[in-house]
Each structure stands twice: as structure tokens, then as C-alpha cells.
Amino acid sequence: MHKIYVVEDEEKIRNIMTDAIRKWGFDVQPVVDFENILNEFISYDPHLVLLDINLPSFDGFYWCQKIREISKVPILFVSSRNSNMDVVMAMNMGGDDFIQKPFSIDVLTAKINAILRRTYSYTNVESNVLEYNDAILNLKDNTLLFKDSHIDLTKNEFQILYILMKHNCEIVSRDELIRSLWDDEHFVDDNTLTVNINRLRKKLKSIDLDDFIQTKKGQGYILQ
């Protein structure tokens, strides 16, 4: 079942869109927190985003740009703004199509079906990020995003965070991390892992992720 994320702040329009799309058999999630659209997007992992332009705090162009930094998911703008510049901006920011309010439900569902058919008949879109407690690890460019800050990671730093995030709330032993980081752990000093962890912790602290990596004495590491 295709999942559709609806980012619309007018409650009446949002409810009409949500009800109509659900009748077509889609799984639909309307936005809940307009300050936290990107993290909701990551958590829901939709196949399509319906995005208004006029939104609280940040507009749809901003959120389109943020989504495009981590995903190729199709984005359909749905807005009362209809100037040529608005349409051009929507497309330049990474939008796939534009529909003007007021709209026909039949036209909206036809566009949704066309975009989904065009996108998922030929490609298999997978998430390019891992998320844990609002920290977003970009698997494409080895960066970590937290709120409005980001850090570049070395190969080992990225691998450490990748393993810890994949294990979610489970403890990862030092031996497991060493085996994942180095081809032959027999030639790796145990202190080498400690040095890498400490360097990573300093970077995490620089973006207010203090104590993000917790040490479990005699067991290994876990994310807070």
C-alpha cells in the first residue's frame, strides 16, 4: 500500500484530501507538528508528499528543499498560489508537479496515481537516511544532521554511528564495532576504537548532541 504524507495547514482542506485519498486505498498521514515536518517525514517514510506552500513557521519551498537533501520521493505541490514564479520555484526546489487550489478531487487523485505509477513502475526508492532521536544520518554523503546543524563524518565515524543506529536501543560490543571497522582486528590496538569514539563524541558535542553515545562498562556502547 502506497503511503502519502499530507502537509496542509488548513484543517478543512486537509480533512477533505485525507478522506478522499483514503477512499482510493492509500495509507495517509496528515502532518501533526508543523515545526517537525522533516522528522515526521523520515519516520513515516512515504511514497509521495502533498505539500502546501503557505505553512506556519517555514513555507513549503523550505520543506521541499529539506526533503530533497535526503530523499528523491515525489513531491506534489498543492497551493492557492499560482503565479508563474511560484510554479517555477516549486519545480526548481525539487517538486514533481503543481496543482492549484481550489482543485477537483478527481484531478488530484489522477495526478497522485500518475506520479506513483511513473515513479514506482521503474524505480525502487529506498530511504537514504537513518534517524534516531531527531539525529539524521545521511547515508549518501556521510553527514549527520541535528536540528539546523550538521557535521561531516570520517569513514570510521560514519560506520560507528551507522552500526549504533541500526541496533537502535541495543548495546553494541567493542568487538563487534572493531570487526565492522577493520578487516583484520588482530592488528588493531583496542585503544584505536577508543580514539575514534572520543573524536566522534567531540563532533557530536559541537552540534549539541552531548552524551549521544553512552558507554556501558564491560559491555560496549549504546545510543542515548
Q: Name, in order, each residue with C-beta under 8 angstroms of 19's C-beta and a sequence gap of 6 or more.
A: none
Where a domain ends, among 120, 138, 160? 120
What is the β-pairing status of strands 149-152 and 143-146? antiparallel
Same domain, 95 and 163: no
Same domain, 111 and 139: no
Amino acid at 17: M
Same domain, 109 and 163: no
Query: Is 70 exceeded by the pLDDT of residue 189?
Result: no
Same domain, 162 and 206: yes
Same domain, 83 and 151: no
- Whichever domain contains 100, its CATH number is 3.40.50.2300
Calculate mean pLDDT across residues 70-96. 91
Same domain, 99 and 169: no
How many C-beta neighbours within 10 Å does residue 73 have?
Answer: 21
C-alpha gyration radius of the chain = 21
Query: Is 60 exceeded by the pLDDT of residue 85?
Result: yes
Number of compact structural domains in the chain: 2
Same domain, 133 and 97: no
Q: What is the pLDDT of residue 118?
A: 85
Rounded to the nearest integer, the mean pLDDT of the chain is 88
Calculate mean pLDDT across residues 33-60. 94
Give the range of the structural domain holding residue 152, as residue numbers without chain letter.
Answer: 129-223
Give the pLDDT confidence of 108-161 residue by residue, as tens digits.
Answer: 988 998 899 888 865 444 567 888 888 888 888 889 988 778 899 999 999 999
Q: What is the pLDDT of residue 125?
A: 46
Task: Please state at what angle helix 190-206 crosses helix 155-166, rounded to 10 degrees.
Answer: 80
Q: What is the pLDDT of residue 129?
A: 81
- Whichever domain contains 218, its CATH number is 1.10.10.10
Cell readout for 121 is 513502475
CB 77 within 8 A of CB 55: no
Same domain, 111 and 136: no
CA distance readout (Å), 177 to 34, 163, 216: 37, 8, 14
Q: Name, in order, each residue with C-beta under 8 angstroms of 57's C-beta and a sequence gap of 6 or more.
A: 34, 35
Where a domain ends, among 103, 120, 137? 120
